[in-house]
Homo-oligomer: A and B are copies of this chain.
Amino acid sequence: MVSVQFILAIGEVFIFTFNSYIFEKADFYTMSLSHALITDLYEFSMANGYFETLPRDTEAVFDVFYRTVPDNGSFVVSAGLEQVVEQLRGFHYTKEDIDYLKSLKLFSAEFISYLETMTFDCVVYAIPEGTPVFPRVPILTVKGPLIQCQLLETFVLNLINHQSLIATKSRRINLAAAGRPVMEFGARRAQGPDASVLGARAAVIGGCGSTSNVLSAAKYNIPVAGTMAHAWVQSYPTELEAFEKWAEIYPDNALLLVDTYDVLTSGVPNAIKVFKELRAKGHKKFGIRIDSGDIAKLSRKARKMMDDAGFPEATITASNALNENVIDSLLQEGAPLDSFGVGEQLITSSSSPVLSGVFKLAALKIGDGEWQPKIKLSNSKEKVTLPGEKKAYRLYHKGTKNAFADVIALADESLPEEFVGINMDPMMTETEANLKDFDAVLLTQVVVGPKAKSIETDTFKIQKHMYEKLAELPEETQRLLNPDRYPVYLTPALADLQAKMIKDHKL
C-alpha cells in the first residue's frame, strides 16, 4: 500500500497534488479499458478498505435520488435506466482494467483478485424510464454486497443524472411547443459524442419526435430529420439555383433554408418559385426553415407571402437558440410556426445543466446480523438522508387515475389504508396530511437480479409511458413557470426512524 507522491512543474509554479497517483506507463491509451472504469477512484479505495476491514459478507442498500429540480420545475422525467441495466448485466473488469488498477499500487492483491473474479450479486430496483419523479423519491435502489454497491455509484449517477436532465428539459420544450413537432438538433453542441447520442434518446423520451443525429437514430430507432445547411445554398451560384437543385434531388422533402442572404427579399421569394415548379410536377409537400433574425416577425411576413402566393400548406420551421421560453413567447405572439428544431439549449439543458442526483447509503447488514439503518446528517434539512430500505408509492384518488401525492415507506411495512403522512419538503407549511381513500401503486420494479423484469427499451414506448404518467399528475404541477409543489410524504414509521437517528447522532 504505497501512495505515490506526484510533483508537477507547471511553468515556474510547483504544484503538489496531495492525493494523486500517476501511472508509470502511457500505453493504456489504445487498450481495452472498459466503461466499468468510469468510477471515481474513491469508490475503489473504499471498496478495498471495506474488503480489508469489514466482514466480507457485509451487505448494503444505497438509494439514488435528487433534491432540486432543474429550471425550477416540480419534477424530473427519469431516464438512463436502459444504459445502467446494460452496463450491470455484463458487469466485469477487463484484463486491462485490472492491470491499470494494479499499477496504482493502492490495493491489496486479494482485493484485486476479488475484482478479477467478481460475480455481480446486487439486486437493483428502479422506477421505469419516462416516469415523472419528485424530489427525495428513490429513482433507483441497489441492494447487495457493500463493495459491489459502492463500485456502481459513479457510473450509475452519470447515466441517470445526464439522461434524466435532458428528458426533463425536452418535456419542458415539448410542452411549450404545444403539440407541434420538436426535432432534436443538438449534436454539434452536445458535451461529447455520448452526450449527443444518449441525449437525443433522452430528448425523445421527453417528447421529441425525431433527431438529426444519425447514430442515435440508428441505435434507438428514432426518426431522423434534417434537410440543408447554409453551405448548400452557398455552394451554388445563386440561392434560387441551390433551391432548384435541392428540389430536383428531394422533390418530396423541400424544406428550404431561407436565411442565407435575406429571408424576405431573397429566401422566401425563391422558395415560392421552387414550390410552384414542384406543384406543377405533382409534388405536395413544401416548407421553409428560418434560422436567424426575429423569428416572430419573419415568420408572419413569410406566412403572408406564401399564403398570397397560394401555398397555405407550406410549413414554417424555426430553429436558432430556441428553448421553452422562446418557443412559448413566439407562440404567445401568434408566430405561425409548424415545427421546431432545437439544438444546444436542449442537448445541454443549458439554462440548468446539472441534475444533482446522489447515491446514498441507507442501510447496512453485517453477516447474519440485522439490517441497520444509516443516515447522513447536515445542517441543511433537505440534505439529511432517509434511513433504511424503503419503498415508494404513488397515491391516486380511489378508483381514478388522478395522482395526488407520493409516499415513501419502510420496505417492511405495509402501507396502512389511512395514515398521517409527514411532508419532508422544508419549504411547505403543511407538514402533515391525513391520507385516506387512495389507491397506492408501487413505483419501482426489479430490473437486475433474480426476479428482474425486462425493462422497456423501445424509446417511443417509453415516451408514451411518459405522456401517460404525466396525464395522471395535477395539471398545476406541470406548468413551466412556478409549478405547484406535489407532495411527497413519509409514513409515520419512516419519519420516526429518521427523527430518532438525527437525535441519536446529535448526542
Given A344-B356, A350-B354, A212 contacting B11 (CB threshold 8 A):
no
Contacts of A236 in B (CB 8 A): 54
Over the window 200-237 of chain A, the binary record of Cβ atoms lying under 8 Å from chain B Cβ atoms (1 yes, 0 no) is 00000001011011110111111111111111101110
Work out how many copies of this chain go into the complex.
2
Spot the interface stretch: A285-293, A411-419, A420-428.
Answer: A285-293
In Å, the complex CA distance between A471 and B12 comes to 11
Are B225 and A261 within 8 A (Cβ)?
A: no
Task: Point out the residue from B101, B158, B229, B251 that lies within 8 Å of A46, measured CB to CB.
Answer: B229
Looking at chain A's contact residues, the main secondary structure is mixed
Given A18-B338, A234-B374, A467-B10, A40 contacting B261 (CB threshold 8 A):
no
Given A192-B158, A376-B230, A218 contacting B471 (CB threshold 8 A):
no
Are A52 and B17 within 8 A (Cβ)?
A: no
Are A179 and B13 within 8 A (Cβ)?
A: yes
Task: Point out the residue from B13, B62, B227 that lies within 8 Å of A45, measured CB to CB.
Answer: B227
In Å, the complex CA distance between A35 and B187 comes to 12
Are B183 and A20 within 8 A (Cβ)?
A: yes
Contacts of A155 in B (CB 8 A): 187, 193
Contacts of A114 in B (CB 8 A): none
Contacts of A317 in B (CB 8 A): 18-19
Given A215-B38, A224-B20, A235-B146, A209 contacting B15 (CB threshold 8 A):
yes
Contacts of A191 in B (CB 8 A): 162, 165-166, 190-192, 195, 199, 348, 353
In Å, the complex CA distance between A190 and B210 comes to 24
In Å, the complex CA distance between A44 and B49 comes to 52
Given A3-B252, A10-B464, A253-B19, A293 contacting B189 (CB threshold 8 A):
no
Chain B, Cβ-Cβ closest to A237: B372
In Å, the complex CA distance between A212 and B62 comes to 21
Closest Cβ of chain B: how far from A16's Cβ, in Å? 7
Are A223 and B339 within 8 A (Cβ)?
A: no
Say if the beta carbon of A125 comes within 8 Å of chain B.
no
By the criterion of a CB under 8 Å from any partner CB, how many residues of chain A are at the interface?
156
Spot the interface stretch: A242-250, A390-398, A437-445, A474-482.
Answer: A242-250
Task: Point out the residue from B104, B194, B222, B260 that lies within 8 Å of A194, measured CB to CB.
Answer: B194
Contacts of A260 in B (CB 8 A): 376-377
Given A10-B463, A38-B196, A231-B150, A339 contacting B255 (CB threshold 8 A):
no
Are A41 and B189 within 8 A (Cβ)?
A: no
Closest Cβ of chain B: how far from A189's Cβ, in Å? 5
Say if the beta carbon of A407 comes within 8 Å of chain B.
no
Are B354 and A348 within 8 A (Cβ)?
A: yes
In Å, the complex CA distance between A222 and B360 comes to 28
28 A-B pairs in the complex with CB atoms less than 8 angstroms apart: A1-B252, A6-B223, A10-B464, A15-B209, A16-B181, A17-B183, A17-B210, A17-B339, A18-B338, A18-B339, A20-B210, A28-B219, A28-B221, A37-B218, A41-B214, A45-B226, A45-B250, A49-B246, A60-B235, A100-B214, A106-B250, A153-B188, A158-B189, A159-B192, A195-B195, A230-B376, A262-B377, A348-B348
Additional A-B contact list (19), CB under 8 Å, known A18-B285, A159-B192: A2-B252, A17-B223, A19-B183, A19-B287, A20-B225, A23-B218, A28-B221, A33-B219, A40-B185, A46-B228, A49-B250, A62-B231, A97-B218, A153-B231, A189-B355, A189-B356, A191-B191, A191-B353, A261-B505
